Copies of this chain bind each other. A is one copy, B any other.
Amino acid sequence: MNLYNKITEPTLLLNKQICLLNIRRMKQKADKNNVQFRPHFKTHQSVEIGEWFRQEGVLSISVSSLKMARYFAEAGWDDITLAFPVNIREASQINELAGKIKLNLLFIHEETVEFLDHYLENQIGAFIKIDAGYHRSGISATDKKQVSKLYRSLRNSGHIQFKGLLAHTGQNYHAASKTEIVSNYYNTLEQLHNLADTCCSNQKQLIVSVGDTPSCSLVDDLSGVDEIRPGNFVFYDLMQYELGSCTPDQIAVIMVCPVVSVQKDRNEVVIWGGAVHFSKEYIHHKNKAPSYGQVVELTKEGWQWTGNNEFLASVSQEHGIVKLLPEKIVGIKPGDLLGIAPVHSCLTANLMKGYLTLDGEKIDHLNGKLKR
């Protein structure tokens, strides 16, 4: 109760216990399958939460920007994959970081290999980014000619060491069922193995790297994979719950927002909590209205999932409109707090720039560390 009394503004509440369990469960799954665990830190972007991974024996990580790589390198992480197509405009910063840690980058184009090989003084590792059906970035898994060419280009490079093939099965975020997610996973894996066998057959130790949160959560047998890179599982969120990747009690973060207006005739409250807190990511709710978050019940110990048809129905810059059940709206007044599970915890954390644990401890986020 003391915790909530101190909250005056939109706050990202973190249940550390749930978060630790999420980390441990995924690490154990990787260990059981004898798979390298390289969690994606873009979800939490926190040095402190990174330490919780380290305590579980995690030593290698993924990030989504060079700034994030530098942030974690400063915190002692020395084996980092920047899981994003290489941006040659940052060649100087890449070279600098590669002089300090083991840095892996993602390649799609030969000209990028040539440019960096010529530019770099320090060694980097390289993965070929394969598009296994998501159609965002990467060489199409069907384009063996291009994969072979890029592989040869990397093998001929002096400063770039080829490591393996990497894919992100992002189409899982549009999957209609758990079965489809599992099927997408095996399909990705098959394509990567096929490419490894046909395009990179003379490579001794080729790493096959996969791992979005939905497939890493739903697939138990990870044989045939060398490395997984899930990120969102550290917190999960409403989207993952809708996909079937997690149960409600595995969601480790919620937003806590002050009520500033009550509109009883519409069963709505206005909260201080909008697009600059939640992001504008939404899912389509079962009644077809878009939902920007699911209302949970705040308790003395944290929060409780209700599954009620109560949700964040719209967000503008600072305002959010929350639909509540008629029986719930009765007792609500301005100054009360509402708990809301976010749709996409990565984007919400990125906007909130920090966390508050149930014990009242403040936890860092890269975006909260900007200097004047």
Residues in chain A within 8 A of chain B (CB atoms): 7-9, 42, 64-65, 67, 84-90, 93, 108-109, 111-112, 115, 129, 135-138, 170, 258, 260-263, 266, 270, 272, 275-276, 279-281, 314, 316-319, 321, 333-335, 346-347, 350-351, 353, 367-372
Contact = CB atoms under 8 A, between A and B. Distances in A.
**Majority DSSP secondary structure for residues of A touching B:** mixed
B280 A87 contact: no
A347 B266 CA distance: 28
A206 to B, nearest CB: 22
A334 B275 contact: no
Given A111-B334, A137-B270, 9 more contacts: A9-B90, A65-B272, A85-B260, A86-B260, A87-B258, A87-B335, A112-B335, A369-B372, A371-B372
13 contacts: A9-B67, A9-B89, A85-B260, A87-B260, A88-B334, A88-B335, A111-B334, A115-B335, A136-B314, A137-B260, A353-B370, A367-B370, A368-B370
B136 A319 contact: yes
A346 B317 contact: yes
A263 B8 CA distance: 48
A236 to B, nearest CB: 16
Contacts of A275: 279, 281, 347
A317 B347 contact: yes
Contacts of A314: 136
A351 B314 CA distance: 19
Contacts of A263: 137
A275 B275 CA distance: 12
B137 A276 contact: no
Closest 5 CB pairs of A and B: A85-B260, A8-B89, A280-B280, A137-B270, A88-B335
Given A317-B64, A318-B42, A347-B280, A262 B109 contact: yes
Given A64-B318, A136-B319, A319-B137, A261 B108 contact: yes
Contacts of A321: 136
A3 to B, nearest CB: 13
A262 B93 CA distance: 23
Given A8-B89, A90-B9, A170-B316, A112 B334 contact: yes
A137 B270 CA distance: 7
Contacts of A281: 275, 280
Contacts of A136: 270, 314, 316, 319, 321
Contacts of A135: 266
A76 to B, nearest CB: 18
Contact of A8 (B93, B261, B279, B347): B93
A90 B8 contact: yes
Contacts of A372: 369, 371
Nearest to A129: B261
Contacts of A87: 8-9, 258, 260, 272, 334-335
A319 B8 contact: no
Scoring A334, A350, A368 by chain B CB atoms within 10 A of each residue's CB, the highest score goes to: A334
